[in-house]
Amino acid sequence: MMDDQALVSRVISGDKQAFRLLIKQHERLVAHMIGRLVDRNEDREELCQDVFLKVYEKISEFNFQSKLSTWIATIAYRMGVNHLRKKKIELSDIPEEESFTAHFVSDNDPQENMEDNEIEAITLKLIDQLPPHYKTILTLYHVDQMNYGEIGEVTGMPEGTVKNYLFRARNLLKEKVKKYLGNEQLL
Amino acid sequence: MNTDDELQKRFDEGNFSAEGIDAQAYQKVFDTLKREPEYTLPVYFADRLVTLIESKETAKEVSRDKFWLGLGLFSLVVTLIVAFALTDFKPSFGVFRFLAGYTGLAAFAVAFILLLNWIDRKIIRKAEAF
């Protein structure tokens, strides 16, 4: 596998095959991030395309201060957030802890969901209901195996905030799942 | 009793041995979080994007060429006007007058050049493309 420096140099020199390779290496990361932030498939693909077009346009400005994947994820995150802003989708920076937790964990007809009897599917739905920043951090940490520092670089948040968001997101999900588990055990 | 903080740390380290409903719930959450999102890009995504970039670059080059051609023609006209004005040059077509007696030859020359151009476009360039 070609290292970042060699790959970037080849892309800058106009090697399209190298850019194709760069896309192949990072398309999963971009798809994960955009896929979590944006709902419609048409928008997702268009946005992923725009992300890589931006990468191609700005690659000569990449200064190797971070990993190439972190830099690409930063572009994807910014473009995803801008897309949500354009669509007037609320980004909702962490709301008041208690009210948000109460709202998120509240029982909105758990019986209906229990019929589904698929905790994993329910948990996935719950992840989708989280505010965009939470979803991004969860995905980068658990799916793309980024560390707190890298996630901080991508999102522009201090490491402490990243840790806090991660803890709270998992805690919220756990509280909600616990309710379903409780119901399951009662049945 | 395990606190949420402790439980999350243990699960982060891959230690799933905790008991209790909180631990069970975290187990489900951590398992699900590790799952890749369902959305994937089409297999031809990279190829399509590279083709798009190439066509954009070609379009950019064409418009740049057109710009320079336009600028060149404009400069030529300006230079001609300035040169005529400065040198008081009077164009004379006397040199072509002898052609008046050879209309057929002139017409043949024009037709022959047009034919060569047509052959070049329709046959030679097409053959080269294959």
How confident is residue A184, by pLDDT bands cut at 50, 70 and 90?
Answer: low
Asked if A167 lies within 8 A of B26 by C-beta distance, the reply is no
Asked if A45 lies within 8 A of B41 by C-beta distance, the reply is yes
Digit-coded pLDDT (tens) for A146-163: 999 999 999 999 999 999
**Nearest residue on chain A to B5, alpha-carbon basis:** A167
Distance CA A148, CA A150 (A): 6
Q: Taking a C-beta distance cutoff of 8 angstroms, is the pair A91, A171 a contact?
A: no
Residue A115 pLDDT: 46
DSSP letters of A73-132? HHHHHHHHHHHHHHTT-----S--HHHHHHHHHS-S-HHHHHHH--HHHHHHHHHHHS-H
Using a CB-CB cut-off of 8 Å, the residues of chain B touching A52 are 49
Partner residue facing B37 (CB), from A139, A170, A174: A139
User: Is residue A62 classed exposed, middle or buried when 0-12, 13-18 and 19+ CB atoms within 10 A define those classes?
Assistant: middle
Asked if A19 lies within 8 A of B53 by C-beta distance, the reply is yes
Instruction: Give CA separation, B101 vs A12, B47, B96, B104, B105, in Å.
Output: 62, 62, 10, 9, 9
Residue B76 pLDDT: 96
Partner residue facing A124 (CB), from B32, B45, B46: B32
ipTM score: 0.78
Residue B112 pLDDT: 97
The total of other beta-carbon atoms located within 10 Å of residue A94's CB is 14
Task: Give the distance, in angstroms, between the CA of residue A172 and the centroid of all CA atoms in the same chain.
Answer: 17
pTM of the model: 0.73
Distance CA A78, CA A84 (A): 10
Our CA-based measurement puts residue A56 at a distance from the nearest CA of chain B, in whole angstroms, of: 9
> Which of B21, B26, B32 should one mutate to test binding to chain A, selecting the residue with the greatest count of A CBs within 10 A?
B32
Residue A116 pLDDT: 46
Residue B17 pLDDT: 72
Digit-coded pLDDT (tens) for A61-115: 998 889 999 999 999 999 999 999 988 776 665 555 556 666 565 555 555 444 4
Asked if B4 lies within 8 A of A177 by C-beta distance, the reply is no
Asked if B4 lies within 8 A of A20 by C-beta distance, the reply is no
Tokens found for residue A160? 């402490």
Asked if B35 lies within 8 A of A16 by C-beta distance, the reply is no
Residue B81 pLDDT: 92
Residue spans of chain B under pLDDT 50: 1
